[in-house]
C-alpha cells in the first residue's frame, strides 16, 4: 500500500506475511512515511503495540510527547519511540514542519528489552546528533525505493534499515544525555492505567480512589508534568487511535467511535472535526489520496 497525498506519504515495505521470507530473528521495516504538518496533516496521540519508530524532524520547531515526557524539538532532531509507547506531536504554527518516520517490527537489539530503541529511563529525543545527516540520507533513499514494489527494492530498504539501526546504536551509545525526567511512581501508574482504559469513562474521582490521592492534587501534578489536563490527555488518546483505525482499517465510523470510547457517533464526528480539522469520513478519504 502506498499513499501519494502530497502532505502525507506512507509506503508499506514488508507486511507480516512478506516478512516470513526474512531471517526470523531480524528486525524489519514495515513502513517509511513522510509528513508535512504545515499543510494540515496531524496525527494525535496514539501508539503501536509491536512497532518501534525512528522519527527525523527535517524542518521546523515543535514539541513532542512520548508517554509523559514532553520535549521541544526542531529540525535536525531524532526521536526514538519504543514499542507500546503513546506519542503525540505539536508543530509550531506558522512555519514549515516536516518529518520522516521509519516503522520497525520484531525489534530485539543487544542490551535492550524487546521492542526498545532506547533503554527505559533515558531521554528518547536526541538534539541534532552527529548521525542525523546520515540517517536522513538513508531514510530519503528508503522512501524513494519503497514507492516501487519490487523484491529488489524491498531488500534494499531492509538493508538500509539495518544500517539505520546501527547508526541509532552509535547515537545512543555516544550521546552524553541526562536520564529522562522522572515523573515518579504515581504519575507512571496513572499514565499506564489511562493508556489501558482510555476508552472507558475515567473521572478524576475514580482516579483518586484508585491511586489513593486527592483528585485536585493529581490534576495539578499531571498538568504540571505533562502539559495536558487529564481530560485533554484522554481525548487526544481517543482521537489519535481513531485516526489510526480510520487509516489502517475499513471499519465503520460508528464502530471506530465505539472502539475509542464514544457511544454517540455524531458526537464523535463533531469532536473529531474540531480537533483534526475535518470529519472522520473526509479524513479517511484524505489519507487515501
Give residue 1's pLDDT: 36
Give residue 3's pLDDT: 41
Query: In this structure, what CATH number is given to the domain that contains residue 281?
Result: 1.10.10.60
Domain endpoint, select from 144, 174, 204 = 174
Give the integer Cα–Cα distance in Å for 25 and 153. Answer: 21
Give residue 122's pLDDT: 85
Give residue 288's pLDDT: 64
- pLDDT tens digit string along 136-167? 999 999 999 998 989 999 999 999 999 999 99
State the residue for C-alpha cell 481530560: 231
- In terms of residue numbers, what domain contains 47? 8-174
* Domain total of the chain: 2
Residues 221 and 121 in one domain: no
Domain annotation covers residue 189: yes
Residues 256 and 210 in one domain: yes
Residue 181 carries which DSSP code?
P
Domain endpoint, select from 147, 174, 201 = 174
Torsion sign, CA atoms 197, 184, 235, 289: negative
Domain annotation covers residue 179: no
SS3 120: coil
> Is the pTM for the entire model greater than 0.75?
yes
Domain annotation covers residue 2: no
Domain annotation covers residue 3: no
- pLDDT tens digit string along 248-275? 889 999 999 999 999 999 999 999 998 8
Residues 170 and 192 in one domain: no
Domain annotation covers residue 148: yes
Residues 68 and 190 in one domain: no
Residues 197 and 159 in one domain: no
Domain endpoint, select from 132, 152, 174 = 174
Contact 194, 237 (CB under 8 A): yes
Q: What's the chain's average pLDDT?
A: 88
Give residue 2's pLDDT: 39
Domain annotation covers residue 26: yes
Ranges of residues in the chain with a pLDDT under 50 are 1-4, 182
Amino acid at each position: 500500500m502506498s499513499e501519494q497525498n502530497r502532505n502525507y506519504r506512507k509506503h508499506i515495505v514488508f507486511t507480516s506475511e512478506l516478512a516470513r521470507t526474512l531471517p526470523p530473528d531480524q528486525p524489519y521495516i514495515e513502513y517509511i512515511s513522510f509528513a508535512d504538518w504545515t499543510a494540515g496533516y496531524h496525527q494525535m496521540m496514539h501508539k503501536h503495540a509491536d512497532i518501534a519508530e525512528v522519527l527525523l524532524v527535517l524542518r521546523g520547531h515543535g514539541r513532542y510527547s512520548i508517554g509523559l515526557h514532553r520535549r521541544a524539538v526542531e529540525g535536525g532532531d531524532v526521536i526514538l519511540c519504543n514499542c507500546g509507547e503513546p506519542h503525540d506531536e505539536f508543530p509550531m504554527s506558522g512555519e514549515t514542519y516536516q518529518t520522516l518516520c521509519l516503522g520497525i517490527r520484531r525489534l530485539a537489539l543487544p542490551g535492550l528489552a524487546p521492542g526498545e530503541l532506547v533503554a527505559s529511563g533515558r531521554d528518547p529525543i536526541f538534539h541534532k546528533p552527529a548521525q542525523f545527516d546520515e540517517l536522513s540520507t538513508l531514510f530519503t533513499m528508503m522512501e524513494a525505493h519503497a514507492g516501487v514494489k519490487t523484491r529488489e527494492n524491498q531488500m534494499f530498504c531492509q538493508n538500509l534499515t539495518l544500517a539505520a539501526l546501527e547508526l541509532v546504536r552509535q547515537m545512543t551509545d555516544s550521546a552524553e544525555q541526562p536520564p529522562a525526567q522522572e515523573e515518579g511512581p504515581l504519575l507512571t501508574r496513572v499514565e499506564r492505567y489511562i493508556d489501558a482504559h482510555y476508552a472507558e469513562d475515567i473521572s478524576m474521582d475514580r482516579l483518586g480512589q484508585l491511586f489513593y490521592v486527592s483528585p485536585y492534587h493529581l490534576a495539578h501534578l499531571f498538568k504540571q508534568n505533562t502539559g495536558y489536563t487529564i481530560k485533554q490527555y484522554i481525548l487526544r488518546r481517543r482521537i489519535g487511535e481513531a485516526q489510526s483505525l480510520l487509516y489502517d482499517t475499513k471499519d465503520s465510523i460508528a464502530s471506530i467511535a465505539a472502539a475509542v470510547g464514544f457511544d454517540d457517533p455524531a458526537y464523535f464526528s463533531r469532536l473529531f472535526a474540531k480537533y483534526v480539522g475535518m470529519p472522520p469520513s473526509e479524513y479517511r478519504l484524505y489519507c487515501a489520496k
